[in-house]
Amino acid sequence: MSWSLNSDRPIFVQIIEHMEMDIVSGALPPGSKVASVRELASEAAVNPNTMQRALSEMERKGLMHSERTSGRFVTDDENVISALKIELAASGVDGFVAQMRRLGLEKDEVLNMIREKY
């Protein structure tokens, strides 16, 4: 259970999040071959159909592509990967801002804290 998936949310969504993070961080380098559905399903301890669904969704988003005989590969398009990085960062910032608002902090206070910590 190394992927620490949460049973309250759809599993395929969490698999996509996990793999997107791997692509952005370089754990899954551009152009690299993706393990088989079976191997990944086994590693994540999920149903192969669920893994298949997640991978198809990644292909639809242009993050991966299949080659008929040789398997599935991570995109080597740097633009796609940078766009994904920005998208993930933006959703992280949204969550962060929402949480700071709940804590009742002003924008300047938060910015100062970020400057100190970053």
Partner 1 sequence: MSSLLEVRSLTKKYGNFTALSDLNFELESGKITGLLGPNGSGKTTLIKIICGLLQPSAGNVTVKGYPVGVESKKVISYLPDTTYLGKSSSVEEVIDFFVDFYEDFDRDRAYDMLGKLGIDPHTRLRTMSKGTKEKVQLILVMSRRADLYILDEPIAGVDPAARDYILNTIITNYDENASILISTHLISDIENILDEVIFLKQGRIVRKSSVDDIRTNEGKSVDGLFREVFKC
Q: In terms of DSSP H, where are the helices of 26-77?
A: 37-44, 48-60
Parallel/antiparallel/unpaired status of strands 33-34 and 71-74: antiparallel
Residues in 9-38 at the binding interface with partner 1, rule: CB under 8 A: 9-12, 38
Nearer to partner 1, 32 or 49 (CB): 49
Which residue, 50 or 75, is less far from partner 1 as judged by CB?
50
Piece in contact with partner 1 (CB under 8 A), picked from 2-10, 16-24, 67-75, 83-91: 2-10
Choosing from 19, 46, 58, 84, the residue that interacts with partner 1 (CB under 8 A) is 46
Rounded least distance, CB 93 to partner 1, Å: 24
- Touching partner 1, residues 55-114 (CB under 8 A): none
Spatial contact of 47 and 12, defined as CB atoms under 8 Å apart? no
- 84-95 in b/e form (b: 16+ CB < 10 A) is beeebeeeeeee
What residues make contact with partner 1 under the rule CB under 8 A? 1, 5, 7-12, 38, 41-42, 45-50
